[in-house]
C-alpha cells in the first residue's frame, strides 16, 4: 500500500548536470557527457567543477548502456553450460565454430563490469572540468606554443616568463621569441629583458623592434621601417624549435592585431601565424569584469581556425571580489594557470621557484586542484 514513499526517497542532493557549454557566456568548450554531481555548500567554483573532488559512483548509469555489443548475444547465457558439453562435439568441424561465440559472450559480462569500476576511480578523481586542463600530457605543450592576450596589458610577458621558468625547472630547453617589440622609444624594459630577468631561459630573441608603442605593423609604417614578414618569422621560430624542447612566441596585443605583411603585401595577424605553424595557443586573460566576453571572442576565433587553446589568468588580485570568483568559475574548464597580481615585481629566484605553483601539469606546473587553489588564494 505504501510502496510509493520508498520510491520518493531518492537522494535529493543529486542533480543531473547537462554538459557544460561554457557557462552560458559563449565560451566554446564541450566537456564530457551528462554526469551527477553533489550540491554542497556554496562555493565559487561549484557549478563548474573547479577542483571539486565530489564524485558519485552513480554516473555509471549513463555509461553502462554503452556496451550494446553483448546484447545481441544475450541468448548464450544458457550456453555457458554448453561449452562443457561441446568439447565432445569439438571433433566435428561444424560445431567448433558455433562454440566460439558462446565463449565471447562469457567474456562480455566482464567488460560491462569494467565500466562500473572505472567510474569509481573517476569519482575519486577530479570532475571533468577540473581534469580537462591536465588531461593532456605535458607533451601537448611541447614544441612551438604561441602566447596571446585578450587585450594589451593583460600579463602576457609575465605569463610567458612563468611558463618558461616552470618548463626549465622540469628540465626542458626553452626559447622565448618576440617577433615584434614596439615602444622602444619609451625607455621601458623590453619584453625580452623582462623574461630574461625573471626566468632566464636558454634563448631569448626579438626579431624586430619599433620606436612607437603601437601595433607592430602600424609602428613599422610610422617609423618607415620594413614590416615583419610572415615567412621570415615562421623560419626563425622553426629554427629555434629544432634546438629547443619548447619555444614560446609572445604576440603583441590581442589575437587579430596586424603584425606585418605577407609577400603579397596583405597584413597578417597572430592567428595567421598559429595556423601557418600548426601550433597551439595560450590566451592570457584578465580576471575582472569584461573578461568573459573578451575570452569567449578570442577562443571562438581560435576554435574556428582549429587552433587548440587554453587560458591563463594574468593577474589574480590579492583581495578578490565577487566578480573575480564568478569569472573564475566560468573559466575553470579552460584554465591552465593563474598568476598572482604583482608577480612581475618578484625577486627572480622567488619567481622561478613559485612559477610551477601557478600552472597546471599541462604547462609543467603542479596546480592540479582549482578548489584548493581558490581556498588558498582567497
Catalytic residue numbers read: 178
Whether residue 299 contacts residue 334, with contact meaning beta carbons closer than 8 Å, is answered with yes
Which residue is listed with cell 621570415? 232
Whether residue 370 contacts residue 378, with contact meaning beta carbons closer than 8 Å, is answered with no
Q: Give the span between the Cα atoms of 186 and 191, in whole angstroms.
A: 13
Q: What is the DSSP annotation of 304-373?
A: HTT--EEEEEEEE-SS--HHHHHHHHHHGGGEEEEEETTGGGS-HHHHHHHGGGGB-GGGT-----HHHH
Based on the number of CB atoms within 10 Å of its own CB, is 376 exposed (0-12), middle (13-18) or buried (19 or more)? exposed
The b-or-e profile of 210-236 (16+ CB within 10 A means b, else e) is: bebebbbbebbeebeeebbbbeebeeb
Maximum CA extent, the chain: 93
Amino acid at each position: 500500500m505504501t510502496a510509493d514513499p520508498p520510491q520518493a526517497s531518492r537522494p535529493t542532493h543529486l542533480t543531473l548536470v547537462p554538459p557544460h557549454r561554457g557557462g552560458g557566456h559563449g565560451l566554446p568548450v564541450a566537456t564530457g557527457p551528462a554526469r551527477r554531481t553533489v550540491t554542497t555548500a556554496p562555493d565559487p567554483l561549484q557549478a563548474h567543477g573547479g577542483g571539486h573532488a565530489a564524485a558519485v559512483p552513480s554516473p555509471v548509469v549513463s555509461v553502462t548502456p554503452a556496451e550494446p555489443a553483448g546484447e545481441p548475444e544475450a541468448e548464450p547465457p544458457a550456453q555457458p553450460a554448453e561449452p562443457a558439453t561441446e568439447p565432445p562435439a569439438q571433433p566435428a568441424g561444424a560445431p567448433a565454430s558455433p562454440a566460439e561465440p558462446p565463449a565471447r559472450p562469457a567474456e562480455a559480462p566482464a567488460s560491462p563490469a569494467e565500466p562500473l569500476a572505472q567510474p569509481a576511480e573517476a569519482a575519486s578523481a577530479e570532475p571533468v572540468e577540473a581534469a580537462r586542463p591536465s588531461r593532456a600530457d605535458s607533451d601537448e605543450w611541447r614544441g612551438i606554443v604561441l602566447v596571446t592576450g585578450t587585450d594589451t596589458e593583460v600579463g602576457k610577458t609575465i605569463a610567458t616568463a612563468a611558463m618558461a621558468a616552470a618548463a626549465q625547472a622540469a628540465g626542458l630547453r626553452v626559447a622565448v621569441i618576440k617577433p615584434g617589440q614596439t615602444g622602444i622609444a619609451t625607455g621601458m624594459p623590453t619584453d625580452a629583458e623582462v623574461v630574461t630577468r625573471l626566468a632566464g631561459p636558454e634563448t631569448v630573441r626579438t626579431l624586430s623592434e619599433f620606436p612607437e608603442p603601437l601595433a607592430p605593423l602600424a609602428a613599422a609604417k610610422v617609423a618607415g621601417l620594413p614590416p615583419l614578414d610572415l615567412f621570415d618569422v615562421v623560419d626563425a621560430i622553426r629554427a629555434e624549435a629544432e634546438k629547443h624542447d619548447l619555444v614560446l612566441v609572445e604576440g603583441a596585443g590581442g589575437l587579430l592585431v596586424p603584425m606585418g605583411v605577407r609577400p603579397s603585401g596583405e597584413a597578417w595577424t597572430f592567428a595567421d601565424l598559429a595556423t601557418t605553424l600548426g601550433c597551439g595557443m595560450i590566451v592570457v586573460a584578465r580576471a575582472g569584469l569584461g573578461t568573459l566576453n573578451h575570452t569567449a571572442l578570442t577562443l571562438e576565433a581560435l576554435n574556428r581556425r582549429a587552433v587548440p587553446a587554453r587560458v591563463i589568468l594574468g593577474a589574480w588580485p590579492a583581495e578578490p571580489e565577487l566578480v573575480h570568483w564568478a569569472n573564475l568559475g566560468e573559466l575553470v574548464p579552460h584554465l591552465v594557470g593563474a598568476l598572482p597580481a604583482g608577480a612581475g615585481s618578484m625577486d627572480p629566484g622567488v619567481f622561478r621557484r613559485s612559477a610551477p605553483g601557478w600552472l597546471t601539469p599541462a604547462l609543467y606546473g603542479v596546480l592540479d586542484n582549482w578548489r584548493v587553489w581558490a581556498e588558498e588564494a582567497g
